[in-house]
Structure 1
Amino acid sequence: MSRQHPQINLSRRSLFKFGAGAIGTGVLTAGIGSNLLAPQKALAEDDITPDKALQELLDGNQRFVKSKRKNPHQTHSRLVEVAKGQNPFASILSCADSRVPSEIIFDQGLGDLFVCRVAGNIATREEIGSLEFGSLILGSKVIMLVGHERCGAVSAAIKGGEVPGQIGSLIEAIKPSVESSKDQSGDKVKNACKANILAQIKKLNSSTVLSDLIKAEKLKIVGAYYDLDTGIISIVG
């Protein structure tokens, strides 16, 4: 979003450009665009589909894994280009873990990804709202929710006990996934991590904004698990 924060009204016609008739009346009556930035040119206009957007992420991860990164869109000219506006083709909700940087593991660059990061990759109201903006207004075609191997937040939820500050809010959000996966065989942290990925996707799917875009075939939501040892992203679900 622009740092100048221009006061530009988002017209009903412009909103339909992203959601067509699939966007529910609740979104419109909420006055979503009364003072938002004008929508950017979406990649949908370049005929990219949710499936193609997903494949671009997976192809980029393969380049990363095989040490064949192209490092696209990382030039000064790209910097100047996207300073005028953004139209990311994909959104990522991932853990805040320093070992899981989205632009690197998916081999993308400036303006390609709309990224939200929070410990335990939790779909909070704020994260969901951000992803709604990324999809509805900016035109992102896929949301990938990324959990990862040996996640500290998931491990803490399994261990339990008292924690300082607001860390407990993260643990409480993950506990249902720990409970639902406790009887599974194998690595408890890995099982709980994957259960948490699916639980957070369920929260995303409960968004009427996102579900309407999915129904209109303008968006896809997928879960993924990142292997810290290999760098490989695998689809979960």
Structure 2
Amino acid sequence: MASNRRAFLTAAAVTAPAAAPATAASGPRPRPSLTAPGALDELLAGNRRYAADRPRHPHDDAGRPRLPAAAHHPFAVIVGCVDSRVPPELVFDQGLGDLLCTRTAGQVLDEAVLGSVQYGVEELGVPLVLVLGHERCGAVAATLEHLRTGAPVPGHLELLVDEIVPAAHRTRALPGDWAEHTMRAHTTWVRDAIRADPAFGTAHVEAARFDPGTGLVSLLP
């Protein structure tokens, strides 16, 4: 792993363009060293702005190049779903260079996701990892439909369903909305799996739920 990481970083250094001087037009400046609680507060404050339709769109001005020329300094890693209604930069009202996002259907973990999170935590020093589930998740709905009907799952979708099935089984007997219970259980399982992995020991890991109807994010216990 160490040699692979060195090779990756060496390749990145060789292929990356030279950084431009840090100016107002070169993208977001490095933030003061945010702690994990500070990073979480920043995310939730941005989400409240988004939900209230008062976004600031940080670093989004017409006089700035589309991509920051200087190194990026994200303050949070978001492990989220591919659902087009849940773009983290908008949901948390953050700009270019603020968030390191990895997204899979149903925020399912695989080695590529874990490696991406580790890159953020180890190499970029990101203090916070937030696993973001959401209401009316299509991957959860497909999983429950499979369990109800027994119909085969086509192609690569089987991996997604297989990863969500344990949460569906754990919550099937609970009263209320089975899909909501499954989403919450799966999201917190992903959080706990990341927490338990020694590769992420320096980061604080939380789980949250996004409601597309209200626009609000709430932390999960």
Q: What TM-score, normalized to structure 2? A: 0.84
What residue is the counterpart of 1:196 in the other structure?
186
The whole-number CA distance in structure 2 between the counterparts of 1:122 and 1:81 is 28
Relative to 1, partners in 2 of residues 1:57 and 1:78: Cα closer, same or farther, differing over 3 Å?
A: farther
1:90-142 Cα deviation digits (max 9, x unpaired):
11011100000111110001010000010011121110110000111112221
Contact 2:30–2:72 (CA under 8 A) maintained in structure 1: no
Contact 1:44–1:139 (CA under 8 A) maintained in structure 2: no
For structure 2, the 5+ residue unaligned runs are 14-18, 20-28
Question: Of residues 121, 125, 146 in structure 2, which corresponds to 1:135?
Answer: 121
Write the letter of the residue equivalent to 2:156.
Q
Write the letter of the residue equivalent to 1:187.
D
Residue 126 of structure 2 aligns to a residue whose secondary structure is coil
* Pairs within 5 Å for 1:138-149: 138-149=124-135
The whole-number CA distance in structure 2 between the counterparts of 1:187 and 1:224 is 18
Percent identity over paired residues: 32
Question: Of residues 207, 211, 214 in structure 2, which corresponds to 1:227?
Answer: 211
Relative to 1, partners in 2 of residues 1:178 and 1:139: Cα closer, same or farther, differing over 3 Å?
A: same
Contact 1:198–1:223 (CA under 8 A) maintained in structure 2: yes
TM superposition shift of 1:155 = 1.0
Relative to 1, partners in 2 of residues 1:166 and 1:83: Cα closer, same or farther, differing over 3 Å?
A: same
Question: Of residues 136, 140, 147 in structure 2, which corresponds to 1:150?
Answer: 136
The whole-number CA distance in structure 2 between the counterparts of 1:209 and 1:45 is 24
Question: Of residues 19, 29, 33 in structure 1, which corresponds to 2:6?
Answer: 33
CA RMSD of aligned residues (A): 2.1
The whole-number CA distance in structure 1 between the counterparts of 2:196 and 2:65 is 35
The whole-number CA distance in structure 1 between the counterparts of 2:89 and 2:31 is 23
Contact 1:78–1:110 (CA under 8 A) maintained in structure 2: no
Contact 1:123–1:203 (CA under 8 A) maintained in structure 2: no
